[in-house]
Amino acid sequence: MTVVLAIETSCDETAVAIVRNGTEVLANVVSSQIDIHAEFGGVVPEVASRAHLEMLEPVLTKALDDAGMTGTDIDAVAATHGPGLIGALLVGVSEAKALALAWDVPYVGVNHMEGHLFATFLEQPDLEPPLVVLLVSGGHTLIVHLEALGRYRILGSTIDDAAGEAFDKVARYLDLGYPGGPVIDRLATEGDPTAIKFPRGLLTKGNVGDFDFSFSGLKTAVINYVRKHPEATDADLAASFQEAVVDVLVTKAMRAADHVAAKGVCLGGGVAANSRLRERFAEEAAERGIDCLVPARAFCTDNAAMIAAAATWRLANDGPTGLDDGATPNLALPTV
Ligand code: KG4
Ligand code: ZN
């Protein structure tokens, strides 16, 4: 039995979770800084680091309380050590190392994207590889071929904006607030997804990067459309934009699943909280008769339970991370 306490502070959520054996979530506390950053229209790195410093102790105390545990019950302490904002990452990494020293247990540095990938296994640990995982967040858009746990090949990624970034930028342009994903998701339910035919970037089969994405042209198309058609409603714009993003994400992920003869497909990352994406993803997987795992929304957006799940696997397979390990803002997903 391994009880891992994990800390996630890579961006704008201060999160601590306690997970037993990589799947049993005993505590999952997330404190969001959205209200603090909203007035600036995006995450301000320096403000994020200060807020993490302020919130980490109370979040940690709550997680231990929720699990009914003290330091003596914890077998390892983990933290996200990249990718993310350097100042924000260092708050979590420093705290995790200090706790590991104080409690005399191993420290594990976790890749944030591997965390998003493990969110799927929190709920369905027996999911059988090979799998195709679509990881869509504010900073990344990846199609990952998971040959086995810890064995990843990146089949495709974005050549410009990440999917979440596109949601955030379009929402910002339309003055809908930050973060853009949840607002557009909500507004889209009132609009017509076929009202405006926005471009589907790099969708044509036969393109060189068959599994790569491009969202910056779509963002420009929305801006140009609004300039020409000021009468367009936010709801129709949101629904049509979202449909274009979802169309490309789902089509490419399923194409990748066919390509590697995957037994199943999974979703991960903040954009995986999107209602339309979840719906289309599940429909298309069902059509193919393959497994489909769409994690609960709370495990899609940033949280520390997914970091604990990844840490449990890494600790068992690679051992602890040295206390001289720091934080790496542009850390890549480890691939084979
Ligand atoms: O994974 P995440 O919480 O943080 C990063 O690692 O980046 O992802 C945040 C991103 C933001 O761009 C946000 O707008 C997007 O996820 N997001 C959504 C939804 N909820 C969050 N995008 C579309 N629909 C949603 N419901
Ligand atoms: Zn994330």
Q: What is the full per-residue pLDDT of the chain (336 aa) written as tens digits?
A: 899 999 999 999 999 999 999 999 999 999 998 888 888 888 889 899 999 999 999 999 999 999 999 999 999 999 999 999 999 999 999 999 999 999 999 999 999 999 999 998 898 888 899 999 999 999 999 999 999 999 999 999 999 999 999 999 999 999 998 899 999 999 999 999 999 999 998 787 666 568 999 999 999 999 999 999 999 999 999 999 999 999 999 999 999 999 999 999 999 999 999 999 999 999 999 999 999 999 999 999 999 999 999 999 999 999 999 999 999 999 999 998
For residues 211 and 273, membership in a common domain is answered with: yes
Calculate how far, in angstroms, residue 44's C-alpha sits from the geometric centre of ligand 2: 16
Distance CA 160, CA 143 (A): 15
- Residue position matching structure tokens 């929190």: 122
Domains of the chain: total: 2
For residues 282 and 314, membership in a common domain is answered with: no
pLDDT at 37 (0 to 100): 85
The answer to the question of residue 285 being in a domain is yes
Ligand nearest to the CA of 13: 1
For residues 81 and 224, membership in a common domain is answered with: no
pLDDT at 209 (0 to 100): 64
For 322, which DSSP code?
A: P
Tell me the longest C-alpha to C-alpha distance in the chain: 64
Q: State whether residue 302 is helix, strand or coil.
A: coil
pLDDT at 283 (0 to 100): 98
Cβ atoms < 10 Å from Cβ of 72: 8
For residues 232 and 292, membership in a common domain is answered with: yes
pLDDT at 206 (0 to 100): 63
Calculate how far, in angstroms, residue 8's C-alpha sits from the geometric centre of ligand 1: 15
CA angle 201, 202, 205 (to 5 degrees): 135
For residues 207 and 61, membership in a common domain is answered with: no
Asked if 325 and 109 count as a contact pair (C-beta separation under 8 A), the reply is yes
For residues 279 and 309, membership in a common domain is answered with: no
The answer to the question of residue 333 being in a domain is no
The answer to the question of residue 237 being in a domain is yes
The answer to the question of residue 122 being in a domain is no
Nearest atom in ligand 1 to the alpha carbon of residue 140 is 7
Q: Whose CA is nearest to atom 19 of ligand 1?
A: 181
For residues 147 and 292, membership in a common domain is answered with: yes
Of 127, 132, 128, 151, which is closest to residue 143 (Cα–Cα)? 132
Pocket residues: Cβ below 6 A from ligand 1: 11, 137-139, 164, 167-168, 179-182, 185, 269-271, 273-274, 301-302
What is the CATH number for 15?
Answer: 3.30.420.40
Asked if 171 and 180 count as a contact pair (C-beta separation under 8 A), the reply is yes
pLDDT at 305 (0 to 100): 98
Phi, psi of 69 (to 5 degrees): -125, 165
Tell me the residue type at 148. Answer: A
Nearest atom in ligand 1 to the alpha carbon of residue 275 is 26
For residues 166 and 226, membership in a common domain is answered with: yes
The answer to the question of residue 80 being in a domain is yes
Calculate how far, in angstroms, residue 10's C-alpha sits from the geometric centre of ligand 2: 8
Helix axes 275-288, 234-259, angle to 10 degrees: 30
Q: Name residues whose C-beta falls within 8 Å of residue 310's C-beta, 6 or more positions apart in sequence.
A: 78, 110, 111, 114, 115, 117, 118
Calculate how far, in angstroms, residue 28's C-alpha sits from the geometric centre of ligand 1: 18
Q: Whose CA is nearest to atom 22 of ligand 1?
A: 181
Tell me the residue type at 220. Answer: T
For residues 263 and 141, membership in a common domain is answered with: yes
For residues 139 and 266, membership in a common domain is answered with: yes
Nearest atom in ligand 1 to the alpha carbon of residue 186 is 26
pTM of the model: 0.95
For residues 58 and 172, membership in a common domain is answered with: no
Calculate how far, in angstroms, residue 66's C-alpha sits from the geometric centre of ligand 2: 23
Domain assignment of residue 64, given as a range: 3-116+300-318
For residues 195 and 63, membership in a common domain is answered with: no
Structure tokens at 297: 């929304």
pLDDT at 131 (0 to 100): 97
The answer to the question of residue 335 being in a domain is no
The answer to the question of residue 324 being in a domain is no
> What value does the CA radius of gyration of the chain take, rounded to a whole number of Å?
20
pLDDT at 287 (0 to 100): 97
The answer to the question of residue 241 being in a domain is yes
